[in-house]
Chains A and B, each alone.
Chain A
Amino acid sequence: MGARTLGLVLLAVVAVAPFVPMGGMREYTIHVLVQIFIWSFIGGAWSLMGRFGLTSLGHGAFLGIGAYTTTLLWNFFGLTPWLGGIAAVVVTAVFAVIVAYPCSRFQVVGHYFALVTLAVGEVVRLLIIAERDWTGGSLGLTVKPAGHDGLLALQFADKRVFYYGALALWLAGLYVWSRVDRSMARSAMEAIGEDETAAASVGIHVTRFKVGITVLSAVLTAIGGIAYAQYISYVNPDTLAGIGVSLRIVFAVVLGGMYSMLGPTVGTALTIALAEYLRVLFGLKFIGMAETIYGLLLILFIIFLPAGIYGSVRQLVRRRRPAPVAA
């Protein structure tokens, strides 16, 4: 069975999954799957930058800006999330340029870049908390219910609507990923990731490419944040901005493997499954224990599986099978 057939079968399974009778478990299964789709999309958006050595530890900033812009516009002005989403994307893009331009213009790379973005993520979180009069501070904000299902308000009682929406979003993310993968920008970005000065010397416009990929990654992340906020219909500075969520995104991607299209999805599915398992296991007892184990596993995975799970498995399969001619 070829990879294409396998992919189509899997897609078919995913497409009918919400209608499989699972009794009381159906709501929960759908809930977990929706989260996997949305966070995989966000992880994919992160990997657009991450694979080229632009290690951002502050993608929570873009999630937060996206989710909060849309939610605030809806709650205070009744603006539909579709238009609010466009506004959020514009705001995120401008913000990404403000951060990315000085960073790439002045060669803030590697660990410096990671630290700058980490600070960015925290600052957005603190800004949300500081503006507590509108944003509700650390208590978060509930997306005002529209009272009825509607495409305009992007609110639906039936989780299955969100399921297909999230699925479409995820597929769109994979499409963007493969477009970037096959583009000229990829070669340029890889050259920049290897050696900026050398890349510039062969005529690659380093700043333009770096800012461009950062804006693309940030905008997709913001869209993911909007989708998540609409689905959960609640926004909180700790779950949508700051270092915690930023590190979770990076961890999922690195665990899966950031150099392959499905790596972020595999990693996200595993980390969400793990987080859900630990949550159910500990419940309300031993507060903090689930996160403690999560952190411990994170360290262990990084030490023992540096190429990520998907990456390691692929290496293993490649080694077993002779590489196909003219791949």
Chain B
Amino acid sequence: MTLRITLATAARVLRQVRRDRRTLALVLLVPPLLMTLFRYVFDGQPETFDRVGPPLVGIFPFVSLFLVASIAMLRERTTGTLERLMSMPLAKLDLLLGYAIAFALLAVAQASLTAAVSFGLLGLDSTGPVWLVVVLAVANAVLGMALGLFLSAFAQTEFQAVQFMPAFVLPQVLLAGLLVPRDKMAPLLELISYAMPLTYAYDALARATADELGRRLTIDVVLICAFIVLSLVLGATTLRRRTA
């Protein structure tokens, strides 16, 4: 792995994102707009908005970066640029970390904007520190990106890659405890939820919002990081120097 190549890759990915103005606008503006929608859907139940609002600020980046990353990597595969890179002196980690850095920066912008709108304009309340919600949101974005890079290897077309969102992301959102507390679900589902990365992401966000900054939050964060590393390693195994 070479820092020079990793950073060059991050710069290249950011340049591509910047070129695609429409995608950039969608990534940055859709989460704040959805938060606004939530705010007025729950107009009569402000306490519900205060409960699900902060975790949502942290979950949007997971979903949108998952999609962006899986399409981006699929494109590298289908246009032949991945094969070119793999025939060059570039380590697999240079590519994956380059993507991680670029998309983490994008997530910082997205999460900050969403948090500013939600906590500033929409009157969302958090007992815990708002900066921690933003930090966790960025970690979730990196997690979503790493999963997206890995899973994109199993999609042959963009149609398939897009379907991975409802297939892999929505069940995790349902099982994470956002809609229904996990201990109220069917026991089997609760058991499955322990294996899902988003469960810990949601738990961390809920604890940060409730100002429960203890050992459990630390464990959540460690697990999120472990899932990120695991996904990147799995992602690296799908990058092949030789193909059939």
Query: Do A and B come from the same complex?
Result: no
Residues of A within 8 A of B (CB): none
